[in-house]
Amino acid sequence: MDQIFSKLKGDKWIWIIVIVLSGWSLLAVYSSVGTLAYKEGKGTELYLFKHFSIIAVGLVLMYLSHKLDYRYYAGISKLLMIIAIPLLLFTLIGGNKVNEASRWVTIPVINQTFQTSDLAKLALITFLARMLSRKAHEIKDLKKSFIPIMGTVCLVFVLIAWANLSTALMLFGTSVLLLLIGRVSFKQIGIVCVGGAFLLLLVIFIGPRRATYISRFESFFKTEQTVQNTVPFQEDKNYQANLAKMSIASGQLFGKGAGNSVGRNLLPHPYSDFIFAVIVEEYGTIGGAILLFLYVALMYRCIRIVTLSPRAFGAFLAAGLGFSLTIQALANMAVAVGLGPVTGVPLPLVSMGGTSILFTSVALGIILSVSRSIEELKGKEELNEIPKNPKVVVGTI
């Protein structure tokens, strides 16, 4: 075990959290894919193997990305944006439509669907980190810094929100947090928020999914049903949210045990959007609290990296990527317990998925790359403090 961790650089606690979440994900996904396997006429073991393979590839990508110097990502941030924006446009025009939403494109050779917003999130956060770190002294200059930065944020926001409002809102919130860390004035941030609110209303009332968005907001704010309501349960607009809350409540304190969930056979997408409800039903409130604690601990470790990073770019990277992952996790849990409208946002590192797991792994690898550079710098400083002894060879290159 010590030999394995010796090869894993960076914050060891982040590695531990990722491994624990990945292992828990295998158990939860295997337990919740029964209905999907039945519909597709396939065995649950096939989905387990596929999910295990994606997690394994994700861990490899995480390891490789953490071995790269994080400053390398500053150099390719513009390239990532140049790739991401046309891909978002292509997705809206010619992407795969599911429930009137064009969020995916199919990769021809491997026939694997690819959610372009995952790439756009990584690209935008990397781009923002680069811009905020390089233009720190002129961040309040409208022409040189503020307009180029916010123009990019607003463009990506609209392109994602047109088909995926929840992801766009979370990314916009992360961008605002980065602006706060970047010491942008409250006046300018207020302008950003007003502009974001205008774009939000534009997407909700003019966009192609306006009926879906309005329906979800209405059903969330009008959850109480009268006794005389004769609408069948499955036709109720709150059908998904009610089932999730029922599953969570039935888990009580200690849960029903792994593989004993009832809600997994009733919930839509129990292996992705509502996997938290299945976990709480099987592992109880204690299990749900432990899962929440793991994400909070992950955010804490990211904040610690931010405070220790000697370079602004590394701090912005760790903050942006850390906030993005944590906000997404909290949003998924909030929907399951009825604290937010249904969004379709997966639980990072736990929900079954393809490219979402891979891009999450790369994001964590970048955070670990920042942490690794801090450790190496600390090691050099400690080495320089050691009194020089000509008889001792400290090391060779």
pLDDT tens digits, 360-386:
999 999 999 999 999 888 777 665 654
Q: Which stretches in the chain have pLDDT values below 50?
A: 224-228, 230-231, 233, 386-397
* Confidence (pTM): 0.88
Alpha helix ranges (H) inside 225-311 = 239-251, 275-308
State how far the Cα of 341 lies from the Cα of 13, in Å rounded to an integer: 33
Tokens 């944006």 sit on residue: 81
State how far the Cα of 331 lies from the Cα of 99, in Å rounded to an integer: 21
Give pLDDT, residue 303: 95
- Structural Rg of the chain based on CA atoms: 23
DSSP 3-state of 103: strand
Fill in the amino acid letter for 60. V
Tokens 């923002």 sit on residue: 128
State how far the Cα of 9 lies from the Cα of 369, in Å rounded to an integer: 8
State how far the Cα of 228 lies from the Cα of 225, in Å rounded to an integer: 8
Alpha helix ranges (H) inside 33-146 = 34-40, 44-67, 72-94, 116-134
